[in-house]
Amino acid sequence: MADFSLTPKEQELYERAMEFARNEIVPRAIELDNANEIPMDICQKAYEAGFMNLHIPKEAGGPHKTLFEETLIYEAIGYGDAGVATSINVNNLAFAPLVIGATIEQLQKYVKPLVTGKKVKFGAFCLTEREAGSDASATKTTAVKEGDEWVINGTKCWITNAPVADLFTVFTQTEPGSGYKGMAVFMVPKKAGVKIGHIENKIGQRASQQSEVIFENVHVPEDCLVGQVGRGFHLAMMTLDKTRTGIASIATGVCQRAVDEASRFAITRIAFGKPIFHNQGISFMLADMAARAHTARLATRHAAWLADNNMKNLSIDSAIAKLLASDYAMQNTTDAIQIMGGYGYAVEYGLGTMFRGAKLLQIYEGTNQIQRVVIANELLKRAKTLDTGFSLKYPGVNAPDHSSRQL
């Protein structure tokens, strides 16, 4: 049976990450949002603290943390700021297809140098294109075999950490027009000739950067191919099934931060002769916010536990965690601003940064509409094999087809 209470080791890890967030991120969150760039100094400290590259196996120089342990770290970092958390977390996304599909020899050659040096290094997950966002199988970036090399051409967009990345995990089409069946994924070093295009100017999570990545006749050797040709789409979906849990963790941190900020304000703000916390309208809002944070945390840790224990059908559980946690982060930050009134709306109190950061959590790594598609598809599969034990016949089921009868 699953037990989500933390072991002493896990509790220490969570508290250490929370201390990092409170000391290094929270005091600078507004400043970092205004700067609109990746906070390299904080990322360096996170790297030195062991909060990055968590899933890399030890044979390739990583700490090989469980996904459950990852949720503890990224909930804490998300508590500090969602944008900073995205910058720190995205190496997990970039390297996940490689951990799943590459050989240890490939990881040792291409990934180990990035995760074992003294200076923080980044990877970038290159799936999205202008006409292939939610529909990942519509990717048009091509990889063509020429002798013992592959030649890659195309443009990716909205690629997190691309401006500072040294290794790009690139999803390509080897047989144009074949959809997901022709997809393949490659490890592409920046030095192979990768170019950075337009850097997006976002309304939130401005402590992370997303940009175009341009491949113009970029040549890579055969050993840059991850797995087999035709397995690219499968690797992408397996990756997202796990990394959505990381986004849910960040969102859970935002949820909890909103509860804490609004609660602290409500016990100090006096109206009608008493702290506004004692007004039932406010206390009930805070109770609902706390319930959302609690539910997000449980859904996230449950999805991580399933992954760590090699359970099947992870798609629905990670999708539910991402959907709930990010929707709740948006609602909690909205309610926190409402409780704090003018103070919540003022820039210097930081709720605006949290609110705008929460919005992106509902969009990236699969919009929440796509999460609902994933959940519904899994429900449809289950419904077709479900035996409830009842023998009642439902109206319209197996009934004669009268659709063409004229009245």
231 SS3 class = coil
| Residue 20 CB partners (closer than 8 Å, separation 6+) | 45, 46, 49, 51, 76, 77, 80
Of 55, 49, 64, the residue nearest 17 (C-alpha): 49
- Helix, strand, or coil (residue 188): strand
Catalytic residue among 24, 70, 261, 365: 365
Residue 365 designated active-site:
yes
Strands 149-160 and 167-173 come out as: unpaired
CA dihedral 198, 201, 206, 212 (to 10 degrees): -20
Instruction: Take residue 234 and report the two structure tokens written for it.
Output: 């499968």
What 3-state DSSP class applies to 173? Answer: strand
Cα dihedral 83, 37, 116, 166 sign: positive
Instruction: Tell me how far CA of residue 319 lies from CA of 68, 126, 258, in angstroms.
Output: 16, 21, 23
- So which residues are the catalytic ones? 365
